[in-house]
A and B are shown apart, each in its own frame.
Chain A
Amino acid sequence: MMSEGSSFLKGMILGGIFCLVMSFFVTFNSGTQSDAHEHLHHHLKPVSKDELQKLSQDQKADYALMVRVYCLIMVTPKLLVHWAVANDTWSKHCDKPVFYTSESSKALEAIDLQEQDEWARLRKAIKHAYGNAGDLRWFFVARPTTFAIIENLKYLVLDKDPSQPFYIGHTEKSGELEYVEYDSGIVLSYEAMRRLVEIFKDEDKCPERGRALWKMPEEKQLATCLKYSAVFAENGEDAQGKGLFNKKSVSSLISDSMSQNPSDVVEACCSDMAITFAGMSQSQIQVLMYGVYRLRPYGHDFHDSLTFLPPKDSDND
């Protein structure tokens, strides 16, 4: 009895020491590893104002042409209200807004892909968009529950070469895979689209119907396929490092900021050049349209180097 007790105690003490040693070892390792990861983790920022001002008028004209956006908006009849809102508001600012649906609906116009599976639908939409791009070189994939300020998207990619592979948005990490979140919108360059369309043909690396028992969400499947084509996710940020792609609503972000940064709510909350928000109601979006495209304080100007005209047939911006 005594010997068992003492063995138990000995074991406990040794176990504790073992745990301490392991935890130090692990934190040390992850410490160095996280540094290495910082270097690998891509951050993408817009061009600086000074750089823009150095450009000639011809160069600016070239940039304006190159930075046009093809919007792929993935809708379903279930999301009809959001679809209508997107149709009536932000999608008008895309150079070519195209709605892709799972099944046709008499209420709104869209390209009917006749596909219920979300990943398969996304693949079809990407293939269609790539073939129909004309001379557009940037692609934005979103659900109708996302709201996007396309002018700020253009500002982010203004000086980036679309013949290079770009895959931009709000990045998250799942194990070893770094992917762009779907809810806050996905930006792809022409080259990234080309590589995607290529790798779609490879059923091993990029299967259309997943083989696993559980389905991997489309955003991760997309990231995996892109990874095989050597295209890596990059986090879109402004010059101060604030994220430009948000999967929350403006009011939600403000509430968070009120509890976390009560002395500097607005500065700490969200970027001035934010690109996306998500989960906003129809009336909140009308207020957002007014807030972005109309409401302003008189006498404060920005003299941006490029000009984007308001869309035709629209009165809420």
Chain B
Amino acid sequence: MIMKGQKRKHPPEEVEISDRSSPMWESQRQLVFSVSLNKYHHGQELPEPSLRRSVLIANTLRQVSLEAFAAPSVDIEVSPPPCSSSSALHKSVVTAKQHPAETFSNSHSALDSDFSLSAAISSILTALDSTIDSCSQAAPRTPLRSLENLSAPSDGGVAWVKQGLRGYGGGWEQQEEGREWESSTELMRCSYLSELTVEDLFQDIDTSLLERDMEVLGLIGSGGECPTGDDLLRYLPPFSSSPSHPFSLSLNQNLKCLPSLSSFGPLSSSLPSLSSPHFSSQNHVREGLDLEHLMEILVES
């Protein structure tokens, strides 16, 4: 699309780069990564959040991160980062490489996959760092942009991080999502949110009461993840923790931290489907409504 009156230029090279060794591929990959991250978080605030859209973006994020590992030219060594916290992050990543820690993921158990995961994590950090650094520039994106007047957020990650925090203060039903993507915002915090503490993020959410109720209703999945308010802090990757326990997050977990689809609420009417997947009757719905009513009262109190 071009605005009227704007002279059409001969469009620059726009072909998708499939050659991974080309530097353009890496820049495109980073662009896609940052756009995807941005998009995912903005998507939660759309008037009509679309599960399909979120799933597709999440899958793209995963793929981009995995391809970063597969690319031979990915530079694991990072340049000295601008802020001290991220240096701790990078140090911990390098340490993780040297001591492949056990991961939370149950599917990646081989040592070499741990190593590769750490490498992928570091590339994510690199990408995030480069996003932080270049958030005000549009230059790396020029070769790929043919739609000149697209209004992509030019202030990079700042907007969505702050918006995400605002959104986090919303209903309790979003707290599960918030808990998980908070870990990704933590990675960006160093540049933007030095004045905010973790407690600030959580202070308007009283999760302990609700978590107990969610347990009672059996709505928490069989994974047994019913964190209390204190436990929520555990999910955030520790900045200053000792090197022996740094990035125990696997790639899977890290990516799990990014897209959380649990906010696509199973809670209001899924009681029938949980108990009887083949048959939902009015009785179940009525019981569900009673419990929902109870939960509303608890939330309001």
Physical interaction between A and B: no
- Which residues of B does A touch, CB under 8 Å? none
- Which residues of A does B touch, CB under 8 Å? none
